[in-house]
Amino acid sequence: MISVSNYSAVEINGGQMAGVQAEEALFIKLGRAGEWEKGCLADGTIRFGYRETPHDLCVAGDWEAVQRFWTERRGNSGTASNDVRQIRSFYESEASTIFVTFFGGLLYWCRPTGPVEVLEDRSRLRRAVDGWHSQSVNGAKLTTDRLSGQLLKVQMFRGTICKVEPMDYLLRKLNDELTPEVAAAEEAEAAIIGAIMAMMRLLTWQDFELLVDLVFSASGWRRVGAVGRTQKTVDLELLLPSTGERAFVQVKALATPAAFDDYRERHADAAEAYEKMFFVWHSGSIGRQREAANVVAIGPERMAQMVLDAGLFNWLKDKVS
C-alpha cells in the first residue's frame, strides 16, 4: 500500500489557514509506463530519466552545453530544446513550483527540494518537501472524476515534464476554492433544495410515497411490494436487479425520535432479510445521535437533494402547484 502524506494547511495570524501558493505547476511522468510511481509516492521522491545527460553540466547551469549535447544526439535542435527545457525544469525547480502526477484515479502533488541525485542506473532523483499529497488543504480527495478535462489532458503529453496551463484552476482545487460561476451555482442549488423541502411538505402522504418510489427507481431499485399502510406511514419492499439486493423502506410524513426508535426496534430481526433498510421522511427530525448503522436515515434535506438529482423537480412542482 502506498503511504502518502496528508497535507495540513499552516496556521497563520488570527487562526486562519494558509493555502497552497505556487509560481508554477509542472506535470511529471514518473518513469516509462509509470514504473517509478509507487516507489516515488511512497518515498516522497521525484524521479527523472534522461540518463545520458551530463550531470555536471546541469549542476553548473551550462545549458548551452546541454543543448549541444542533445542536439548532437537528436540531430534536431528543436527536439533538443524540448529535452533541455524538461531537464532544466527538473534540476532548477524550487519549492515555489508544484509537481503533479496521476495514479490510481487520484491527482498527487508535491514540492521539490534539495539537490539532484544520480542513481546507480543513471536516472535522477529529487526529494519532495513533505512527501506527495492526494488531498486538498481541507482534506478532500483529489479524485480525477472531479477534475477538469483541461487539467487531465496533461497526461497525454508525450514527454516527461510539461507546464500545467490551468494554473489558477489547479490552485483553486488544492485550496478548496470555488470559481465565481460554481459559487453562484451552489447558492442557486441551495435555494432549490430549500424550495423542494417546502414543496414536499405540501404533498399528500400518498404522493410522498410515490415520490419516494420514483426517487429509488431512478437509482435502479424496483418496487416489489408495499405493506403496513396507514394514513401517515407506508412500508416498501425494493429489489436492486443488478445485484439482487433487497431493501426495506419505511416512508413517513413526520418523523420523531420516538418513531425512529420504534422502527429500529420493530425491524431489528428483519435486518437479516434485507441488505438495506431505509427510514424516509419529509418533516421533523430524529437527531443525529439516533442514526443507526443498520438503517439509512433519509431526512428532508437529503431527500430534497435526491429529488433534484433524480430530475424530479418539475414533477414535484406540478404536483403541488
Query: What pTM was estimated for this model as a whole?
Result: 0.69
Determine the Cα angle at 171 with ends 165 and 173, to 5°. 110
100: closest CA among 42, 30, 197?
A: 30
User: Parallel, antiparallel, or unpaired for β 124-128 and 112-118?
Assistant: antiparallel
pLDDT at residue number 293: 64
| Cell numbers 425512529: residue | 260
Helix (H, G, I), strand (E, B) or coil at 27: strand
CA 298 to chain CA centroid, nearest Å: 23
Determine the Cα angle at 230 with ends 227 and 231, to 5°. 140
| Range list of β-strands (E), the chain | 10-11, 17-18, 24-28, 45-48, 97-103, 106-110, 112-118, 124-128, 161-163, 222-227, 233-240, 245-255, 276-284, 296-298
Determine the Cα angle at 276 with ends 272 and 278, to 5°. 115
- Residues 27-56 as b/e (b if ≥16 CB within 10 A, e otherwise) read bbbbbeeeebbeebbebbbbbbbbeebeee
Angle at which helices 77-92 and 63-74 pack, to 10 degrees?
140
pLDDT at residue number 150: 92
Identify whether the C-beta of residue 287 lies closer than 8 Å to the C-beta of residue 281. no
Identify whether the C-beta of residue 212 lies closer than 8 Å to the C-beta of residue 280. yes
pLDDT at residue number 18: 60
Query: Which positions of the chain have pLDDT values less than 50?
Result: 1, 3, 6-17, 231-232
9: closest CA among 141, 177, 136, 172?
A: 136
262 residue type, one letter = D
DSSP 295: B
| Cell numbers 442557486: residue | 188
CA 15 to chain CA centroid, nearest Å: 27
Identify whether the C-beta of residue 252 lies closer than 8 Å to the C-beta of residue 233. yes
| Nearby residues of 44 by Cβ (< 8 Å), 6 or more positions away | 5, 110, 127, 128, 130, 131, 132
Q: Residue 263's CB: how many other CB atoms inside 10 A?
A: 22
Helix (H, G, I), strand (E, B) or coil at 84: helix
Which grid coordinates are listed for 273? 432479510
CA distances to 12, 142, 146, 249 from 181, rounded to whole Å, are: 29, 20, 16, 38
Phi/psi of residue 311, each to 5°? 75, 30
| Cell numbers 413517513: residue | 252
